[in-house]
Amino acid sequence: MNAPTATAHLLPEIALRPVPQALLDALATRFGAQCSTAQAVCEQHGRDEGSLQAPPPSAVVFAQSTRDVQDAVRLASEHAVPVIAYGAGSSLEGHLLAVQGGISIDVNRMNQVLSIDADDLTVTVQPGITRKQLNEAVKDTGLFFPIDPGADASIGGMAATRASGTNAVRYGTMRENVLALEVVLASGEAIRTGTRAKKSAAGYDLTRLMVGSEGTLGVLTEVTVRLYPLPEAVSAAICSFPSIEAAVRTTIQTIQLGVPIARCELIDAHSVRMVNAHSKLGLREEPMLLMEFHGSPASVKEQAETVQEIASEFGGNAFEWASTPEERTRLWAARHNAYFAAVQSRPGCRAISTDTCVPISRLADCLLDSVQEAEASGIPYFLVGHVGDGNFHFGYLIDPASPTERGQAEQLNHRLVARALQLGGTCTGEHGVGIHKMGFLREEAGEGAVGVMRAIKQALDPKNILNPGKIFAL
């Protein structure tokens, strides 16, 4: 592998650009109370859930409309000052850090549902609405939005980072589920991409270009996404296994047999132990699969029985079923609380998280070697994975004051990514590149492809004001 192994390259490169007083005055004149330079507000908007740090932005504009976003971007462009869009702040790879200074545009107040087209199974929303708010707004239609990255992220942020999550096995990721966008470009111009039609062959696919661009090509101000009928029946199950390998083999066989499972999550024994302590549960402290089945009562029963048979071949035991919402919530609490349970298990720690994804046939090879390395390192860790689509996360729990531990964790991450790439996988299944994965992107895509990305960025954002210092260096 050619990617650098020193950890210095993973720390943010801080190169602050001046933010002229004239810009701050112009923002204050245009936005009044919607603009804040208060230190606490700026600091809140200058960090995400990850472990990287940088100085905060100089001002925060609380946008309430597309016009607000346009005006803020135009003013910033006049002064060549960076602009960083801010949603729920739940990203993990440093996406929100003002590594070159600038201003933050907070879109949380842009949280309206603009239109629900139930007959066409689509909804158009503003970017600040969170996935839970969206599902609350559409539930009366008998439809739902299935993409679930775990955190209650904003739809704009989810589109910008091409998020996925627990339901991706059945429903795909944001890439497949965003149909159309309104985007404010670096010039302040607003464009529309895509339509509500199910397919199109009209011109370049700008929607796909913007989904996953991490705020480097434009600020998303409207998002149209697919909805799905709420399944007639939902059943969840957990199953414990004697080893991680047995759990993974069960998953691989389930997918290869074409069982239309909705979710398939892996939690290792460490995570189960942490969750038991955190949530006062009594789960068996062994590797565990959490599964969910959607469909008619008959098809759900059939799917679940098939998976149970497969699991028993690999030594799966303690199968537990849940078909009422209350029971399902209890089972899924283990998965949803895994991150917080882990962080609380070592007071004062930060989690260095990974999110590689590999072809399903290579999942066992990748995962087992990485578990061995993590065990040998002595660093506390947890493992959770959306293994149904070959995606998994290690969380290395480090003392943020210890450069040695950070170095070790980053080395583990590096070896894991190198292994995933070697097996035909990717350096990031769902968190995005941000700052943390820039070196790995070069390794994965090659200099030629990154050069094409750079050319697109320079064409659309010649002053490099849209979330600079992310994905690749200019």
**Was domain 7-108 assigned CATH 3.40.50.620?**
no
The structure tokens listed for 406 are: 């950070």
What per-residue confidence (pLDDT) applies to 49? 84
Query: Helical H runs in 423-473?
Result: 438-460
What per-residue confidence (pLDDT) applies to 308? 95
- Model confidence, pTM: 0.92
Could you tell me which residues come within 8 angstroms of residue 144 by beta carbon, excluding any fewer than 6 positions away?
A: 135, 138, 227, 228, 230
Query: Is the per-residue pLDDT at 378 higher than 80?
Result: yes
Task: Kindly indicate the confidence band of residue 409, based on its pLDDT and cuts at 50, 70 and 90.
Answer: very high
In single-letter form, the type of residue at position 312 comes to: S
What per-residue confidence (pLDDT) applies to 11? 67
Q: Where are the domains of the chain?
A: 7-108, 113-229, 233-422
Residue position matching structure tokens 């850090």: 97
State which fold the 113-229 domain adopts. Answer: 3.30.465
Rounded average pLDDT over 365-378: 94
Handedness of CA 191, 437, 128, 79 (dihedral sign): negative
- What is the percentage of the chain residues whose pLDDT exceeds 90? 84
State which fold the 233-422 domain adopts. Answer: Vanillyl-alcohol Oxidase; Chain A, domain 3 (3.40.462)
In single-letter form, the type of residue at position 169 comes to: V
Query: Is the per-residue pLDDT at 1 higher than 70?
Result: no
What is the rounded average pLDDT for all residues in the chain?
93
What per-residue confidence (pLDDT) applies to 324? 86
Query: Is the per-residue pLDDT at 452 higher than 90?
Result: yes
Query: Is the per-residue pLDDT at 10 higher than 80?
Result: no
In single-letter form, the type of residue at position 446 comes to: G
What per-residue confidence (pLDDT) applies to 139? 95
Tell me the per-residue pLDDT of 165-224, one tens digit each, with 9 for 90 and over: 888 999 999 999 999 999 999 999 999 999 999 889 999 999 999 999 999 999 999 999
Query: Is the per-residue pLDDT at 247 higher than 70?
Result: yes
What per-residue confidence (pLDDT) applies to 135? 97
Which range has the worst mean pLDDT, 12-16, 101-105, 370-374?
Answer: 12-16
Rounded average pLDDT over 249-260: 94
What per-residue confidence (pLDDT) applies to 9? 47
Residue position matching structure tokens 């450069």: 403
Rounded average pLDDT over 287-294: 95
- What is the percentage of the chain residues whose pLDDT exceeds 70? 98
Question: Residue 281: is it exposed, middle or buried by C-beta count within 10 angstroms (0-12/13-18/19+)?
Answer: middle
| CA distances for 91 relative to 60, 88, 149, 198, 230, angstroms | 18, 8, 10, 29, 28
- H/E element, 254: helix 244-256
Between 332 and 171, the higher pLDDT residue:
171
Cα(375)–Cα(393) distance, integer angstroms: 15
What per-residue confidence (pLDDT) applies to 333? 80
Strand partners, 183: 191, 220
Rounded average pLDDT over 317-342: 86
